[in-house]
Amino acid sequence: MNKQNEKTVQKREANELPSALEDISNLLKGKKPAVFLDYDGCLTPIVKDPDKAFLAPEMRETLQQLARVSFVAVVSGRDRANVENFVQLDNLYFAGSHGFDISGPNNMHTEPGGAKEALPALEKADKELKDKLQDVEGAWVERKRYAIAVHYRNVADDDLVEKVKKVTAEVLQKHPELKEGLGKKIIELKPNLDWHKGRAVLWLMDELKLNQPEIVPLYIGDDITDEDAFASLQGQGVGILVGEHDDRTAASYHLKDVEEVKKFLESLTHHLKNE
């Protein structure tokens, strides 16, 4: 059995975590970081329309500066091409669809995790969901390459929210090739495989030979889907939760919001430049 499955994951409430801003030297423990970040809610605030989650020029510059002195990867539930288009930096790595689709500098592009087998089921489920939810005002079924996101943030009526959840559960039950993933006001249908953001991070660490004693992986994220990465890195890296979600967290540090993420990344860059 994989060691990640064997270990006991420690979880705490978000308000119990120390601030990642307070002592970067202690957080790094004399090592160089490999930085992994979620996009929505971490690099840019969550907005009602995901197509308008634009990256602020100041945050783009902050990422650019950090990538000059450290490995940086954006790990998102969004399609890889979509998040690449928002970030617009060619010296970063991108893991889209929760890590099923990965790209990076020097024309790197790979799709680990075996998700291609689930494409026919995703196609059918996408059509079923769009048909059954088309009359629910505010509901939005977003097809990604390796996932379907059912958004209900803009569904105002509680009864209709329950309808969205019920319909999604029924469609999911029809397709054993798929499994449920939960986020903030989102239900996702993903390939029913043992692959997630945490496994994507570990895959990148191995593939790019970042598993070195002098390197510490840092993962910064805000959502329930980021908990897989926090758990995977416990004992060998640092998880940093942005804001809070509806559950206890496997992260070891905390940042309040996107603005604090920017300050942390700037401080991290300054620390690395002055070592």
Pairing mode, strands 148-151 and 186-191: antiparallel
Q: What is the DSSP letter of 15?
A: G
Q: Per-residue pLDDT tens for 81-123?
A: 999 999 999 999 999 998 999 999 989 999 987 888 899 999 9
**Residue-range domain boundaries for the chain:** 3-113+195-273, 115-191
Residue type, 21: L
**pLDDT attached to residue 119:** 92
Q: Are 172 and 124 in contact (CB under 8 A)?
A: no
User: What pLDDT score does 31 carry?
Assistant: 94
Does residue 38 carry a catalytic annotation? Answer: yes
| pLDDT score recorded for residue 104 | 96
| Active-site choice (38, 40, 126, 226) | 38
3-state helix, strand, coil in the chain (%, to 5): 40, 25, 35
What is the reported pLDDT for 1?
36
Residues of the chain with pLDDT under 50: 1-5
The answer as to CATH 3.30.390.50 being correct for domain 115-191 is no
Instruction: Say what the pLDDT of residue 74 is.
Output: 98
Pick the CATH number of 3-113+195-273 from 3.40.50.1000, 3.30.390.30, 3.90.1150.10, 3.40.640.10: 3.40.50.1000
Q: What is the DSSP string of 152-172?
A: -TT---HHHHHHHHHHHHHHH
Q: Which helix (H) or strand (E) holds 265?
A: helix 258-273
Give the pLDDT confidence score for residue 6 in this predicted structure. Answer: 55
